[in-house]
Structure 1
Amino acid sequence: MTRFSPARPRLVVGITGASAPHLGIHLLRCLRDLGTVETHLVISQAAHRTIELETTMCPSEVAALADVVHRRGDIAASIASGSFPTLGMAVAPCSMRTLAGIAHGYGDDLLTRAADVCLKERRPLVLVARETPLSLVHLRNMVAVTEAGATVLPPMPAFYQRPSSVEDVLAHLSGKVLDQFGIEHDVYPRWHGPVPPRPGITVQPVEGAVS
C-alpha cells in the first residue's frame, strides 16, 4: 500500500549485498525528504546481512524509508512488468554478482528482473557498482551493461565541495544518482567555478603543480 498519491513519478531502488548499504539508505532518505517521488524498494537476501553487519539499522527500518516494499522473490510484483510506469531504477550499492546478472539478462529474482525491465523499456538504470580493485570480468560486465543502456556510477567521492564528514560524501553520491533521473534537489553543493581572489591578493602557484 502506498502512503502517497500514485500520481507521483515512481523510482525503483534496489539494495544488494555489496559493502556500503549506506549508499542505498541515504538515497532513500533523500527521496523521502524530497517527497516528489514514490519509491519502490527491493532488498536482496545478501543485503539483509550487510545492513545488519555494517549499519546500526535492521532491514525492516531500512524498508520503512520506502513508500512501497517488494519481496525479492515476488516475480508477480508491479515492478516486474514494463507496463508499470517508472522513472527507472537505481541499484545502490550494486554487487558484482548483481551486475553480472543484469549484464547477461539473468533475472533470477525481482531485483534483477526489475533492472532488466528498465533495459528493455529503455528507462534509466543506474548501477552504483561497489568493488575494488576491479577484475577484467567486472570491467567487461560494466561495458556490457553500458552498451545495453545502463549507467555505471561508481561511488567515487568528490572533494571540490570540501566534505567534512561521511554524510557530506554520501550526500554528493546520492545527488549524483538523482541527477541521472532529472530529479530536482539541493542535496549537495554544485560546482560554479573557483571563487576569484579578492582585489589586492596575489595567489601563489602551488609548487610542483603541472599545468
Structure 2
Amino acid sequence: MSTRRLIVGITGASGAAYGIRALELARAAGMETHLVVSRSALLTLNQELGLQKADLEGRADVIYPVADIGATIASGSFRTMGMLIAPCSVRTMSEIATGVTSTLMSRAADVVLKERRRLVLMLRETPLHLGHIETMAALTRMGAIVMPPVPAFYARPQSIDELVTHSSARALDLFDIDTGAVRRWGGLKDSLLT
C-alpha cells in the first residue's frame, strides 16, 4: 500500500493558485494526490484562474465531492502523509480547530490531526483579529502548522507564478517532499556590513 499519498484541500479564500500549483508539484514529485475542493473554492478558481469544475479532472489522482463524508480520506485507516489546505479560509480553519466538521474538507483535516499526521494550513487572511490568532494558536497546540503564503523576496521573483511556486513548494517541504522548485537561501553573497 502506498503511503506517499497527500491530501490537498482548496477552500474559497483568495489564492486558489497555491492549491493548483501544490497539486502539480506534488504529482511531479511522484506523490499520489487526493483533492477536495469546497463550494466556495469553485467560485474562486473561476474568478482567479478561469477554471471550471471540469478543469480539475486529471489534476489529482482522486477528486472527492466536498459533501462525501464517506470518502476514504474521512477515515484514519486510509494512510496518508497528511493534508495541505491551500489556500485555507478562516472558516475552514475555525471548523478544524473546534472539531465540528461539517464537510469532507474539515473532516479529513480532523482525521489527519487525530492520527498525528502533518496538517499544513496556508491561511489567507489579513489583517488578523485576536480570535484568528487564538484559533491559530489552538491549532498549533493540536499539531497543525499554520503557514501563510508569505513571499520570499530573497529569491528575486520575476513573476506572480514564481511567488506562487516558491510558497507552494515550501509548503510541500513541510511534508519532506522536495520538488526541486525552491530556490534555497545560500547566505549573503556580499555583505554591506563588512
TM-score (norm. length: structure 2): 0.95
Deviates further, 6-15 or 182-191: 6-15
Deviates further, 57-66 or 117-126: 57-66
Is 2:90–2:132's contact at 8 Å kept on the other side of the alignment?
A: yes
Instruction: Give 1:138 deviation, angstroms.
Output: 0.9
Alignment of 1:169-188 (within 5 A): 169-188=163-182
In structure 1, runs of 5+ residues without a counterpart are 1-5, 197-202, 206-210
How many pairs align?
Answer: 194
1:179–1:52: structure 2 CA closer, same or farther, 3 Å change rule? Answer: same
Match of 2:20 in 1: 25
Match of 1:110 in 2: 104
- Provide the secondary structure at the position in 1 that maps to 2:149: coil
More helix by share: 2
1:125–1:63: structure 2 CA closer, same or farther, 3 Å change rule? Answer: farther
Residues 1:45 and 2:39 are matched in the alignment: yes
Alignment of 1:162-173 (within 5 A): 162-173=156-167
Match of 1:89 in 2: 83
Is 1:8–1:37's contact at 8 Å kept on the other side of the alignment?
A: no
- Out of 135, 147, 154, the position equivalent to 2:129 is 135
Distance in 1 of aligned mates of 2:161 and 2:19? 13
Distance in 1 of aligned mates of 2:126 and 2:3? 37
In structure 2, runs of 5+ residues without a counterpart are none
Is 1:174–1:187's contact at 8 Å kept on the other side of the alignment?
A: no
Distance in 2 of aligned mates of 1:95 and 1:143? 16
Give the aligned residue type for 1:82: G
Give the aligned residue type for 1:161: A
Is 1:23–1:92's contact at 8 Å kept on the other side of the alignment?
A: yes
String of CA shifts for 1:166-198, please: whole Å, max 9, x gaps.
1110111011111100112211210111225xx
Distance in 2 of aligned mates of 1:146 and 1:157? 21
1:144–1:125: structure 2 CA closer, same or farther, 3 Å change rule? Answer: same
Aligned Cα root-mean-square deviation (Å): 1.6
Match of 1:125 in 2: 119
Match of 1:15 in 2: 10
Greater Cα radius of gyration, structure 1 or 2: 1
Distance in 2 of aligned mates of 1:70 and 1:102? 18
Report sequence identity in percent. 47
TM-score (norm. length: structure 1): 0.88
- Out of 66, 71, 81, the position equivalent to 1:72 is 66
String of CA shifts for 1:106-131, please: whole Å, max 9, x gaps.
11110100000011000000000001
- Provide the secondary structure at the position in 2 that maps to 1:177: helix
Distance in 2 of aligned mates of 1:175 and 1:47? 21
Instruction: Give 1:204 deviation, angstroms.
Output: 5.6
Residues 1:62 and 2:56 are matched in the alignment: yes
Match of 2:141 in 1: 147
- Provide the secondary structure at the position in 2 that maps to 1:160: helix
Distance in 2 of aligned mates of 1:18 and 1:94? 6
Give the aligned residue type for 2:189: V
- Provide the secondary structure at the position in 1 that maps to 2:170: helix
Distance in 2 of aligned mates of 1:94 and 1:204? 39
